[in-house]
Structure 1
Amino acid sequence: MTYTFGTTEDKLIYYYIYYSKMQLIIAEKSTAAETIAKNLAETKIRIQDFGPVKVWYTQINGEETVVMPLKGHIKNVRYPETFRKWNEETLMKMIDAKLVYYPTAEDNIAVIKKFAKKADKVIIATDYDTEGESIGFEAIDVVREENTKSKVYRSVFSSLTTKELSEAFKNLQKPNKDLSDSADARREIDLILGAVLTRFISLAAERLGNSFLSIGRVQTPTLAIIVARDSERRAFKPEKYWRFTATIQTKDAEFLAEYKDGKVFDEKTAEKLRKTKNEKKAVIDKVDMKKRRMPPPKPFNTTAFLRSAAAIGFSVPNAMRIVQGLYMKGYVSYPRTDSEAYPPTLDLKEILNELRNSSSYSKAVSEILKKPLNPTKGKEAKDHPPIHPVKLPNEKLNPQEARIFDLISRRFLATLSDESEEEIISIKLDIKGNEFTAKGSRILVPGWRSVYIFSKYEENILPEIKEGEILKVLKIDEIEDFTTPPGNYSQGAILKIMEDLNLGTKATRPEILKKLMERRYISASRTLIPSEVAFAVIENMQKVSNEITGAELTATLEKEMKLVEEGQKKKAEVVNESRDMLRKVLKNLQSKRKEIKELMHKALLQQYIFGTCPKSGGKLKLVVSKKSHKRFVGCSDYPKCHFGMPLPQSGYFFISPQSCPKCGIHMIEWHAKESKRTYIFCVNPACKVEKKEKAIAKEKTKK
């Protein structure tokens, strides 16, 4: 609702705002603007709507103040309209074309202009990182169009608490153009490289419109890593092995011992061990007992947080969305950070005293405060402190928010807790000349593990045994099995690999995974399974150009952009270097265009094949009815063969590399539109699938 200035006091405020000098605070989002206004207001707050943009009027630090929000970037970058049409002839010209920055948030820009005219001071209060600084300079450019005399400052904060905001607005800094240029260099490089290569591969494969094939500077090398792991799985050949496990009895208990080598691949060794199956005695050759101290975990940087969130069931994009929301509400610190060390300026006791008010954490806090605080630490970064709780929520969080807040709070407490102490026991047994081993462990002092419940530890307590003892062998079991392929990467694992290879930044890595999912290159499940389209793009690009799919080019550009951030290189220099790199890559690709076209056509046809028709032996493929526009599985031998299977009509799906264990047809990974959930199931009505999945699948295919 628009606030009406009716009283005498209101009119006086109106006069100050429109005709007198004042300061303009520009925040990145509406939630942040409101929090800043409420936490720092020295007089009554008045709110006014300018279309969709809400502003807050008050006094801050004795000055009449307007606090207004942006909605992220208010400008974007694109190619000129002359390059709107996709064709082969313009690709090389696109590399050197001058990019255009254009407004994307006219309403916010109009409000900036309205207040900039009378603002003698402008304070940028966006997130303090490269992206936030770029957004800030977009606002500064708009201010300068209306007022060249106003002084521009920067407030730097890592949490939206009253204390930290108050300090930030009393100790204003200068905006950092190098930070902004680094972000803009990344935007421009990603646009140039992504647009040129996406157009080239899409034109070569004749996949235009909504079916275009996306290529990205960070996206494609990341996808290549995921595809490589799945290729390794597909090429894996199982190898037979045996395990021999002895059940040993003491006076008071039983325990298991395994043949020393674990997996036995040699048939002769296996045969030798089979001859011990009737042996009833085991001699204890050696008992080795050690105590081990395990230090507490390091504080959360962004990657460590996202990996831990993924380990307890959150997708990376969802975890990032939730923690960003908790930050905007003032419950946790800024979630995009490389730091693993709390700065000396962070009041750890203040946070502990806040957490003490929760029954979930009060016991741990009391234990921590008994001793001088000595937090763990890893690498230090200058941008923001590690992710930590700021205050207890004053509202009921939804279950996902509550779990993420609990994860962050317990990690914080763990970093300030004592080491845990464990006892590790190793026993060597002789059974008829064959060495068997038993390994046990137990926690002696829980330490940090008592509060950080997300760190899994399974005890295996062995009975007390002395060297030289002769124990009874109850039985020796033989298990025959086959080796299994390595698992697909989890979302958390791929984030760590991206960090190690310098692919992307702490802020962009979650977005890259999100894009790969949205573009249906990979599954949206906890384990990342590439689609056939992903295989087609990566495998064929690797045949002609490893520069695009490898991490080296991207990592080199990341280092260059870091130099811009540190003021050691100019933005234009780095962008032009990337243009030169791309020019060489494109020339190589264009020389092999015919080969790429043939390879892509052949590979992309496979993405719609489900398997072999059980009736005619033809290929089961995706079919879309010309009359009803419904999709279903049909046989390539139609009209001779009328075999078909239904498909979900809502949401989207791609054919999974996983085959149904019953009928052998490729299952589908269906992303339900209504529930936003993912289901993997066989579309063959003759197969039994999990009831929940089957019911939903049937419901959707009725449409």
Structure 2
Amino acid sequence: MLRALHVAEKPSVAKKVAEHLGSLGGPTTNRSGPSPYNRLYDFETPGTPLTNNRRVRHTVTSVTGHLMASEFAEPHNKWHACAPRDLLREDVSQVEFRVADDKLPLKQQLEQEARQNDWLVLWLDCDREGEAIAYEVVDVCRKKKASLDLYRAVFSSVDKQSIQQAWRSLQRPDKRKADAVAARSELDLRAGAAFTRFQTFRIDGRYEDVQTKVVSYGPCQFPTLGFIVQRQQEIEAHAHKQFWKIDLATKIDQQHVKWSWRRKRVFDEVVASLLFERVLESPGTIERVQPKPATKVRPVPLCTLELQKRASRWLRLAPDATMEVAEKLYQNALISYPRTETEIFKPGLDLRDLIDRQRGDPRFASFCGDLLDKPANDPRSFCQPRAGKRDDEAHPPIHPTGDGSQLTDPRQKAVFELVTRHFLACCAKDGVGRQTLVDADIGGEKFEARGLIIDQRGWLDIYRWERWSGTQLPLLQEGQLFDITKVELVAGKTQPPPLLTEADLLAKMDAHGIGTDATMADHIKTVLTREYATRANQPPHVLKPTPLGRALVDAYDAMGERLNRPELRAAAEADFTSIANGKKTKAQVIAETLVTMRRCFDVVQRDVAKLDEAMRKRFGGAAGDGPAPDLNLDFAGTTCGDCGGTMQLYSRNDRPSLRCDQCETWWPLPDRQGVTIEPRSATCPLCQFQLVDIKFDPNGRKQPHCPHCYTAPPPGAHAGSTGGRMACRDCAHAGCSLATGVRGGSLAVAKCACGGDLKLRRTPAAKFVLGCTSQQCGSAAWFPSAVASARVLEDSDCPQCSAPGAPVRRLKLKLPSAKVPPGTDLNPTLCALCCRGEILHLGFDRRNLRVGGRGRGGRGRGGGRGRGGRTRGPPAPAGVDQNKRPKVAAAQPPRPAPRGPPQPLQQRGPPQPQLRR
């Protein structure tokens, strides 16, 4: 007997699958597993050609949405563990996908069931997000049984016919769609976390009226906010202009006719008065009467975006609420899958059967009867729906699949009615009428009138939200004269565009490729939740930005990279589609997008003063205009690098902060308990702010800090003991003696044996050291004083020492010619682990260096002394086979120089002259 494990996306769908498939065989039983909310259903069915006619034992269960969550690996998941820019580097920070803690019982349940089954049938939603969840289930189940055969059930409704048809035509899951979702998830996490931390560090606590603690950024969220702010800017920028127009009405054959002036309006009052006088003194003449047929075309089938727009406009439902209700209707088998971009009904779908299912509902019974029972030539009979432009090749348009006459929830009832009436309207014929266009001349000015007679309403009889009406004109002849009964010169002024409605915003997001049909509603909800915009009360669902939303968009508008514009996100969405189509790989898209995001981050960091200016414009001076008592009454004050004013030390939000008395800007400082702060005479060469000395421990050393760089580290800084905030010792500026960081100092050169990272830094004595970041380790190697400068190369890994997932980066050194032997390369690029012949003669001391886990207690094969006191060669990094490494000679004591040219020797300090007898 074949055993098949079926996994659905939600418990309600699992119950439907078990009910409809169980009806093909014996009785169905259900039981509880480790996850009590995800029941297990067991039953048997006869064999099919797909199972080689073998009888099948089924077990049906479910997940509840995503099984795994993405987050940064330690320590980058902590806010102050690194500079925000490091989150945009794959080689520095890693994103992990792991089962969330609250899903561990569900993971255990899937593992238990996977061991006992031969097939894994995935009943997840048939879109990219569903495919991603499907492969999360695959990862969990195949770790316990690698031989599981994978199948994907393709369905668009959970009614009996669709479920049984999906079982008879199983397909294979598509890993490319899952990769597209994984790429989006990782990139959104990296960009969102980097810019959120940057904004929050800059804004948090500096403005009294900003109550939010986290100033978040989202790659889709900000373009969505940008559309709302752009409309508000257009409204504020609108300059009213006075205009004048002529209103004309006549009575012909006892019927009133309303005429429209072809000029519409003029903006010169004198000209308007002259034209008005000509019309006032002249009779009217009919110049042309043009009858023609008129058609009110029925709508195309319903996609997700159109459902959200129409529900917002007619039902007053927010897009996220509409999707929530539609999802419940889908789970109850009343409508088809509500997340679709398709506007075309494929020939295989029996539309007449779907119409017949609505005959039991009194609201639609009569109209359905006409569609199915009237002959084809009758204007009320069935007509094949029009084809729209969209087609995602996955799901049909949204349509009813069950009888919703018993619904009691008002929102579910309203959404079901909208879906059903739209579907029936698609299957009806167009509205047909006769239109008459009349042109008239009065004193040389042209006027026109329109009349409409409706002969067949067609789909309008069922679609109660649409209107089609007109005025019947009297019988008019060309050349006919008529008298004017009423003419007025009306003054008016131009009006600004209205605020964006949610339906308008959805249309803009769709036009610019922001989000997908399934996520657009969530992006709007996020903007509202973050209090970047609000819904105005009158009229409903009109969106207006808050001062914080305005300030953020104004700041990015002023910067070199306008992150609130949709182009960046539209390009990313196109790349995700390329992954799903197989045109690009996940790794390729992530690498390319992160390069763009790092460039954007550098520009934003450089122009951060524009964010301060935008915030001050919306919220006035920085918070704390009534400063709290001084922390240190003897603090002499420092110089502000922005305006040259004096900065005083205050306690603000229980942490020390410097406040400029002139530009009223606040600069937070480290808030460890017992900290003391004193001015320092030196000035930061990067931003011109006067430095301060901070002592964290009464017995410790003073550590210089720049107030500006501490909050906004310059590019190239690496995370020191202050985390994402930067002390002077972490700076890599070559022209400052206090800067002991190095270029590329945030990059790990190699992995230490303890599991930490070996990073390059500069000591206060200007010597370079390769040391472990773990405070408990102490593994280190010192470069000689002959090295004038050193930097870690980002894209230059050692081909001998590197291994997959464990790169060993090479270093670029600069050596002064006066301190090295003749013939030495003054700008060598080398590996600190294997280039012994090139650097040992410089005095490189690596006795305490332990690499890649091969050392033990500082005495293993990681460069310490082995048995007998003999110095061993450099160790192999993690993942490199020791037996396949190139052999290098062990370090030997210096020997007398042979006859001939002098040879470089292992030595410390300046080289000694070599003499020949």
Post-superposition offset of 1:398 = 1.7
8 Å contact kept, 1:113–1:142: yes
Q: What corresponds to 1:679 in structure 2? A: none
Quote the Cα distance in structure 2 between the aligned partners of 1:449 and 1:43.
48
Q: What corresponds to 1:687 in structure 2? A: none
Amino acid at match of 1:252: Q
Q: What corresponds to 1:428 in structure 2? A: 439
Which one of 540, 548, 565 corresponds to residue 563 of structure 2? 548
Quote the Cα distance in structure 2 between the aligned partners of 1:156 and 1:590.
47
Which one of 442, 466, 474 corresponds to residue 455 of structure 1? 466
Summarize deviations over 1:332-378 as a string: whole Å, max 9, x none: 11111111111122111211221233332233333433337422102
Q: What corresponds to 1:73 in structure 2? A: 66
Q: What corresponds to 1:36 in structure 2? A: 17
Tell me, yes or no, if structure 1 residue 378 matches structure 2 residue 393. no
Amino acid at match of 2:72: Y
8 Å contact kept, 1:83–1:90: no
The aligned length equals 589
Q: What corresponds to 1:440 in structure 2? A: 451
Post-superposition offset of 1:88 = 9.4
Q: What corresponds to 1:572 in structure 2? A: 587
Which one of 70, 79, 86 corresponds to residue 79 of structure 2? 86
Summarize deviations over 1:158-180 as a string: whole Å, max 9, x none: 01110110010121111111111
SS at match of 1:548: coil
Post-superposition offset of 1:101 = 1.4
SS at match of 1:384: coil
SS at match of 1:577: helix
Q: What corresponds to 2:259 in structure 1? A: 257
Post-superposition offset of 1:189 = 0.9
Tell me, yes or no, if structure 1 residue 311 matches structure 2 residue 321. no
Amino acid at match of 1:37: A
Tell me, yes or no, if structure 1 residue 45 matches structure 2 residue 28. yes
Structure 1: unaligned runs, 5 residues or longer:
1-19, 609-703
SS at match of 1:528: strand
Q: What corresponds to 1:558 in structure 2? A: 573
**Alpha carbons of 1:210 and 1:425: their partners in 2 closer, same or farther (altered >3 Å)?**
same
Quote the Cα distance in structure 2 between the aligned partners of 1:438 and 1:154.
60
Tell me, yes or no, if structure 1 residue 98 matches structure 2 residue 81. no
Quote the Cα distance in structure 1 between the aligned partners of 2:257 and 2:516.
49
8 Å contact kept, 1:441–1:459: yes
Tell me, yes or no, if structure 1 residue 55 matches structure 2 residue 39. yes
SS at match of 2:259: strand
Quote the Cα distance in structure 1 between the aligned partners of 2:404 and 2:458.
27
Post-superposition offset of 1:281 = 4.1
8 Å contact kept, 1:205–1:601: no
Bigger mean CA deviation after superposition, 505-514 or 81-90: 81-90
8 Å contact kept, 1:243–1:258: no
Quote the Cα distance in structure 1 between the aligned partners of 2:309 and 2:62.
32
Post-superposition offset of 1:607 = 12
Which one of 335, 360, 365 corresponds to residue 338 of structure 2? 335
**Alpha carbons of 1:165 and 1:528: their partners in 2 closer, same or farther (altered >3 Å)?**
same
Summarize deviations over 1:87-117 as a string: whole Å, max 9, x none: 4952222112110112222232122122122
**Matching of residues 398-437 of structure 1 within 5 Å:** 398-437=409-448
Q: What corresponds to 2:217 in structure 1? A: 215
Quote the Cα distance in structure 1 between the aligned partners of 2:383 and 2:449.
39
Which one of 592, 602, 609 corresponds to residue 594 of structure 1? 609
Amino acid at match of 2:473: L
SS at match of 2:151: strand
Which one of 7, 22, 25 corresponds to residue 6 of structure 2? 25
Q: What corresponds to 1:225 in structure 2? A: 227
Structure 1-normalised TM-score?
Answer: 0.80
8 Å contact kept, 2:555–2:614: yes
8 Å contact kept, 1:532–1:607: no
8 Å contact kept, 1:282–1:431: yes
SS at match of 1:230: helix
Amino acid at match of 2:476: I
SS at match of 1:568: coil
Post-superposition offset of 1:139 = 1.0
8 Å contact kept, 1:332–1:389: yes
Post-superposition offset of 1:515 = 0.7
Summarize deviations over 1:393-413 as a string: whole Å, max 9, x none: 263232221221111112112
Post-superposition offset of 1:591 = 1.7
Tell me, yes or no, if structure 1 residue 287 matches structure 2 residue 265. no
Amino acid at match of 1:49: S
Post-superposition offset of 1:60 = 4.9
SS at match of 2:557: helix
**Alpha carbons of 1:280 and 1:402: their partners in 2 closer, same or farther (altered >3 Å)?**
farther
Amino acid at match of 2:299: P
Quote the Cα distance in structure 1 between the aligned partners of 2:137 and 2:95.
19
Q: What corresponds to 1:203 in structure 2? A: 201
Amino acid at match of 2:136: E
Summarize deviations over 1:250-280 as a string: whole Å, max 9, x none: 2232122233222232212321244267658
Bigger mean CA deviation after superposition, 322-331 or 398-407: 398-407
8 Å contact kept, 2:383–2:429: no
Q: What corresponds to 1:189 in structure 2? A: 187
Quote the Cα distance in structure 1 between the aligned partners of 2:11 and 2:405.
19
**Alpha carbons of 1:475 and 1:88: their partners in 2 closer, same or farther (altered >3 Å)?**
farther
Amino acid at match of 1:91: P
Quote the Cα distance in structure 2 between the aligned partners of 1:506 and 1:424.
38
SS at match of 2:463: coil
SS at match of 2:215: coil
8 Å contact kept, 1:36–1:160: yes
Amino acid at match of 2:153: S
**Matching of residues 262-661 of structure 1 within 5 Å:** 262-275=264-277, 279=281, 281-312=283-314, 313-369=316-372, 370-371=375-376, 373-379=383-389, 380-393=391-404, 395-524=406-535, 525-605=540-620
Quote the Cα distance in structure 1 between the aligned partners of 2:466 and 2:8.
37
CA RMSD of aligned residues (A): 2.3
Amino acid at match of 1:55: R
Quote the Cα distance in structure 1 between the aligned partners of 2:491 and 2:466.
32
Bigger mean CA deviation after superposition, 449-458 or 163-172: 449-458
Quote the Cα distance in structure 1 between the aligned partners of 2:343 and 2:251.
48
Amino acid at match of 2:38: K
SS at match of 1:457: coil
SS at match of 1:580: helix
Summarize deviations over 1:507-543 as a string: whole Å, max 9, x none: 1111111111111112234122111111100111121
Post-superposition offset of 1:141 = 1.1
Quote the Cα distance in structure 2 between the aligned partners of 1:38 and 1:334.
19
Post-superposition offset of 1:606 = 9.1
Whose relative contact order is higher, 1 or 2, with alpha carbons under 8 Å and at least 6 apart?
1
Quote the Cα distance in structure 2 between the aligned partners of 1:603 and 1:431.
54
Amino acid at match of 1:468: G
Quote the Cα distance in structure 2 between the aligned partners of 1:607 and 1:441.
63
Q: What corresponds to 1:163 in structure 2? A: 161
Quote the Cα distance in structure 2 between the aligned partners of 1:148 and 1:321.
37
Post-superposition offset of 1:433 = 3.6
**Matching of residues 85-164 of structure 1 within 5 Å:** 85-87=78-80, 90-96=83-89, 97-104=93-100, 105-164=103-162
Bigger mean CA deviation after superposition, 480-489 or 523-532: 523-532
Quote the Cα distance in structure 2 between the aligned partners of 1:583 and 1:266.
54
Amino acid at match of 1:47: N
Q: What corresponds to 2:733 in structure 1? A: none
Q: Which has the larger radius of gyration?
A: 2
Q: What corresponds to 2:637 in structure 1? A: none
Quote the Cα distance in structure 2 between the aligned partners of 1:564 and 1:207.
42
8 Å contact kept, 2:38–2:63: no
8 Å contact kept, 1:21–1:118: no
Quote the Cα distance in structure 2 between the aligned partners of 1:225 and 1:273.
41
8 Å contact kept, 1:277–1:475: no
Amino acid at match of 1:67: V
